[in-house]
C-alpha cells in the first residue's frame, strides 16, 4: 500500500485520472459490480454525514421538516407534467415484476412471468410527481400552507457514462419540496434555499460559488426558474453544485392540488424543489486537493488532528503514550476530533503519507527529543508547512490553526477562481481560450439558437445569469444582436 500511496497521478499530467485515482486511494468510494452504482466507503461516508448534518440543521432553521416518500413511482405519474416527463422519464430503472422463482435446473432463479405488474414502477429519478400526488390530500386551505418537506434518500438515473460522485446511476441526495399559497412566497423560498446552499458551500466546504439563474434550456424539467450554484474546479471547469427550482403551479395543476385561499377562492398551490447530492463530494475533492492527496476543510474533516509518535523502543513509546493522552484530552475538550495513531505495524513515513492522502488538516508528531523539550512538530495539510511548538497551550494553537486552514483554503480557491473569470466579448477569442478552462462572462442575446451554437462549437454551456454581475448593455458575441444578459459560460462536469 505504501507504494500505491506514492503512485497518485499528478494533476498537471492528467487531472481526470488524478481525480479517479484519488477517490479510490483515499478510501472515499469505489465502483460496485452493479453498473454505474458506487459503494461509498466508511471514510467517504463520514464526510457525507458531516455535510448532511450541517445542511439538515440549516434546513430545519428555516422551518423545513423531514419526511419520507416511496422509492417507486407509477409510470403514469411521470406523464402528468408535460415537461417533466421529457426530462426524467427516459433513462430510468423500470420495475416490471415482483417475484423470482427457482429455475428448471434448480441452480438459480429466474423472473416469474406470472408476477408481472399491471403498471410498471419507476425507481425515483426525483420525487416531484409522487410527492405532489401526496400533497393533494394534505392541502385544503391556506392554513395548511406553507408545507415545507425534505427527504434524504437515494435516487436513480440511468446515466450511460458514470464517474464516482460526479455522475452515478444511483446517488444519495436530499430533495426539498415546498408548497405555498402565493407566487411571491414560493419564489422567495426558492431563492432562500439557494442561499442556504451557497452559504454551506462557502462556509463549510470552503468552495466559492457563483449564484445565478439558469437559461431556459438548462432549467429543471417542469420549472419556471432554476437557480444554481456553480463552482470552479482546478482545471477551470464548472461543477453545478446545487439547484433550487421555482416550479410555479405546474405540479399543483398536474396533480390537482388546490386550496381555499384567504378570500375563499379556490387556487392551485405554488411549488419549489431544491436539492444537493453526493456530487458535492466531487466538488469538495476537486476544489482543494493536491498531488499528495485530499485536502479537507476542517469543518468537514472526520479526523481533524492526527498525532503520530516516533519512538525507538517500547519504553519510549509508553512515555509518549502517556504524554499524548493529556494532549488528546485537551484537544477533545475543545470539540476537536483527534486520532492518536500508535499502531506498531506501520512506519511513521507510511502514516504520514496515508494521512496526507486522506486530507487530515493537522498532523502532530512527537518523538523522544520532543518529549524532553515538551515540544511537538505541527504540520498543516493545506500548505504542508511544519513548525516545532511548545506543548504548552498547543490545544488553543491547534484550534486557531484549524480555523486558519478553513479560511486559507477558501481564500486560495477564491483567488484561483477569480483569476480565471474573464470578461469576453469576442467569440473567436472565446473559442481559443475556453478549452483551457475558466469562467467567461459574455453578452448573450437570450436565444436558444446562440446557446446551442456555443455548445456545439465549444462544448461550453451557459452556466447561469449570475446575480452579482452588473447587467450593462452590449452585443451578443456570437450573433452580434443586442444582448439580453451577461452570462457565465464554461465547460462543465
Contact residues toward a second copy (CB under 8 A) are: 30, 32-34, 37-42, 45-46, 49, 65-76, 78-79, 85, 89-101, 107-109, 111, 120-123, 130, 133-134, 137, 143, 149, 153-154, 156, 158, 170, 172, 345
Q: Which is nearer to a second copy, 158 or 416 (CB)?
A: 158
**CA angle 335–340–343, rounded 5-degree value:** 160
Q: Which residues contact 244 (CB under 8 A, 6 or more apart)?
A: 190, 191, 193, 194, 197, 226, 227, 228, 272, 273, 274
Shortest Å, Cβ 71 to a second copy: 5
79 φ, ψ to 5°? -85, -5
Q: Which is nearer to a second copy, 274 or 439 (CB)?
A: 274
Shortest Å, Cβ 57 to a second copy: 12
Q: Which is nearer to a second copy, 169 or 464 (CB)?
A: 169
Shortest Å, Cβ 169 to a second copy: 8
Shortest Å, Cβ 275 to a second copy: 17
Q: Which is nearer to a second copy, 76 or 373 (CB)?
A: 76
Shortest Å, Cβ 30 to a second copy: 8
Q: Within 13 Å and on the Cβ side, how many CA atoms surround 40? A: 18
Count CB-CB contacts under 10 A for residue 68.
9
463 φ, ψ to 5°? -80, -40
Spatial distance between the Cα atoms of 491 and 75, rounded to a whole number of angstroms: 34
Q: Report the DSSP pairing between strands 65-66 and 147-156.
A: parallel
Spatial distance between the Cα atoms of 240 and 222, rounded to a whole number of angstroms: 19
Shortest Å, Cβ 362 to a second copy: 22
Q: Which is nearer to a second copy, 72 or 192 (CB)?
A: 72
Shortest Å, Cβ 51 to a second copy: 13
**Residue pointed to by grid coordinates 400552507:** 145
Helical packing angle, 279-288 and 42-61, nearest 10°: 110
Q: Which is nearer to a second copy, 235 or 341 (CB)?
A: 341
Spatial distance between the Cα atoms of 140 and 15, rounded to a whole number of angstroms: 53
Q: Which is nearer to a second copy, 147 or 210 (CB)?
A: 147
Q: Which is nearer to a second copy, 71 or 475 (CB)?
A: 71
Is-contact 246 223, C-beta < 8 A?
A: yes
Helical packing angle, 183-203 and 42-61, nearest 10°: 140
Shortest Å, Cβ 391 to a second copy: 29
Amino acid at each position: 500500500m505504501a507504494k500505491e500511496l506514492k503512485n497518485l497521478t499528478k494533476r498537471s499530467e492528467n487531472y481526470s485520472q488524478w481525480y479517479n485515482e484519488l477517490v479510490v486511494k483515499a478510501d472515499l468510494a469505489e465502483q460496485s459490480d452493479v453498473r454505474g452504482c458506487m459503494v461509498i466507503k466508511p471514510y467517504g461516508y463520514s464526510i457525507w454525514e458531516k455535510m448532511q448534518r450541517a445542511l439538515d440543521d440549516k434546513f430545519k432553521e428555516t422551518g423545513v421538516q423531514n419526511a419520507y416518500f416511496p422509492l417507486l413511482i407509477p409510470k403514469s405519474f411521470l406523464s402528468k407534467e408535460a415537461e417533466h416527463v421529457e426530462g426524467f422519464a427516459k433513462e430510468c430503472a423500470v420495475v416490471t415484476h415482483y417475484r423470482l422463482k427457482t429455475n428448471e435446473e434448480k441452480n438459480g432463479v429466474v423472473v416469474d412471468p406470472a408476477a408481472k405488474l399491471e403498471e410498471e414502477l419507476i425507481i425515483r429519478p426525483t420525487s416531484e410527481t409522487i410527492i405532489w400526488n401526496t400533497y393533494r390530500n394534505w392541502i385544503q386551505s391556506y392554513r395548511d400552507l406553507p408545507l415545507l418537506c425534505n427527504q434524504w434518500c437515494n435516487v436513480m438515473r440511468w446515466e450511460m457514462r458514470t464517474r464516482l460522485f460526479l455522475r452515478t446511476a444511483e446517488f444519495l441526495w436530499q430533495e426539498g419540496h415546498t408548497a405555498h399559497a402565493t407566487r411571491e412566497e414560493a419564489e422567495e423560498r426558492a431563492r432562500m434555499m439557494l442561499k442556504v446552499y451557497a452559504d454551506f458551500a462557502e462556509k463549510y466546504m470552503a468552495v466559492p460559488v457563483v449564484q445565478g439563474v439558469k437559461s431556459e434550456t438548462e432549467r429543471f424539467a417542469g420549472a419556471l426558474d432554476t437557480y444554481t450554484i456553480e463552482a470552479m474546479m482546478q482545471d477551470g471547469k464548472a461543477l453545478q453544485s446545487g439547484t433550487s427550482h421555482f416550479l410555479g403551479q405546474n405540479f399543483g395543476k398536474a396533480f390537482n392540488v388546490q386550496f381555499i385561499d384567504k378570500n375563499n377562492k379556490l387556487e392551485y398551490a405554488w411549488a419549489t424543489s431544491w436539492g444537493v447530492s453526493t456530487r458535492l463530494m466531487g466538488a469538495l475533492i476537486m476544489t482543494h486537493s493536491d498531488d499528495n492527496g485530499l485536502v479537507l476543510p476542517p469543518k468537514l474533516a472526520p479526523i481533524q488532528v492526527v498525532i503520530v509518535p516516533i519512538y525507538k523502543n517500547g519504553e519510549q513509546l509508553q512515555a509518549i503514550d502517556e504524554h499524548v493522552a493529556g494532549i488528546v484530552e485537551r484537544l477533545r475538550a475543545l470539540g476537536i476530533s483527534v486520532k492518536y495513531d500508535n499502531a506498531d505495524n506501520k512506519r511513521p513515513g507510511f502514516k504520514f503519507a496515508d494521512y496526507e492522502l486522506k486530507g487530515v488538516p493537522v498532523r502532530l508528531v512527537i518523538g523522544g527529543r520532543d518529549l524532553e523539550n515538551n515540544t511537538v512538530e505541527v504540520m498543516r495539510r493545506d500548505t504542508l508547512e511544519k513548525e516545532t511548538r511548545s506543548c504548552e497551550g498547543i490545544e488553543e494553537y491547534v484550534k486557531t490553526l484549524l480555523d486558519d486552514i478553513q479560511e486559507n483554503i477558501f481564500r486560495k480557491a477564491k483567488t484561483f477562481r477569480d483569476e480565471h473569470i474573464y470578461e469576453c466579448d469576442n467569440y473567436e477569442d472565446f473559442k481559443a481560450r475556453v478549452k483551457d478552462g475558466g469562467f467567461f462572462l459574455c453578452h448573450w442575446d437570450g436565444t436558444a439558437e446562440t446557446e446551442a451554437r456555443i455548445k456545439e462549437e465549444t462544448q461550453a454551456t451557459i452556466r447561469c445569469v449570475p446575480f452579482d454581475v452588473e447587467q450593462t448593455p452590449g452585443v451578443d458575441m456570437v450573433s452580434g444582436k443586442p444582448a439580453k444578459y451577461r452570462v457565465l459560460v464554461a465547460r462543465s462536469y
